[in-house]
Amino acid sequence: MMTTQPASLESLRVLLHSDDFIIVDKHWDIRIDSKMWYEKLTVQEQLRHRFPELADPSTYYGFRFCHQLDFSTSGALCVALNKAAAGRAYRCFKDRTATKAYLALVRGWVEEETQTLEFPIGKNSSEGKTHMMCIEGTEGCENPKPCQTELTVLEHGLYEGDAVTKVLLQPLTGRTHQLRVHCSAIGHPIVGDFTYSLGADEAPYRMMLHAHLLQIPLEPQPLLVSAEDPFLPSVDPKWLPQRALRAPTATVEALLERRMEEERKRREEERERVRRQEERRKGGRKQRTKEESEEQERQCQEWLSEWAGD
């Protein structure tokens, strides 16, 4: 069950375990890995504790993490158990065919129920903020890159008496701190985000951002997991929903259906592209064959003319 208690070495929650992958429900406020000798509690160490026989000594951390989650973010995290599996999963993330959806509580009541956030994001070079990202146009914003997030409102409610909104966030790109920066940019920062509130939002026990859904379209069997919703009154009584607009389960199902349709169209387009390339190659071979035949016939006619002349 979800809990507000801090992580421990034994508290690793496994969502899926196959020959090639382990998907865990990462605890909040725990690093995936660390090179610091004094940092003993990481997902890496939790995996070593639970599955010592699966650690790969040829890798620095013992396990191959297919993607990243921030220190403060909880939820679905995919770990590959061999190099080939890691490569297949990495390609899905690189090609943006993997589907990720996050649950979050954000400050204030978000009025626009569905919206696409498209603020380019770059590194903040301002003094004292070099560990942060920022949107294009912000003072000190370096090398901003295009960035897209889909936001869907699920519920309006209160957290410790303050207005908050429960939202589903789908990152369509993978920039550092993307969801946190985008929510802050529209005036609805994530509850408990100490960094992007400049240290002001420190009362909640955690940052309220959770990787709820992960789908990786591997062949022949895609990976699909859902990490339990931690933003429920039964888990944290300080959160009091007041007005439900959409059910998280139905919203996620609709998202998956849309993504599956997009993936089907993408594969059809890829097959059509390959077919056209093959047709062009065949056409080129036929043209070359025809030209070669015409040249052979011309040479033959010349030879016959010369022979007749003799």
CA distances from 299 to 29, 290, 292, 304, 309 (A): 81, 14, 11, 9, 15
SS3 at position 137: coil
Rounded CA separation 24/26 (Å) = 6
C-alpha 212/C-alpha 169 separation (Å) is: 10
Own/partner long-range contacts of 16-22 (Cβ < 8 Å, ≥24 apart) = 16/223, 16/225, 19/81, 20/80, 20/81, 20/82, 20/84, 20/85, 21/78, 21/79, 21/80, 21/81, 21/85, 21/89, 21/223, 22/47, 22/51, 22/54, 22/63, 22/78, 22/79, 22/81
Which residues neighbour 161 within 8 Å (Cβ) at sequence distance 6 or greater? Answer: none
Annotated active-site residue 19? The verdict is no
CA distance 135 to 146: 10
20 burial type by CB count under 10 A (0-12 exposed, 13-18 middle, 19+ buried): middle
Q: Which of 70, 193, 201, 236 is catalytic?
A: 70
Q: CA nearest 173: which of 148, 195, 140, 155? A: 148
Catalytic residues: 70
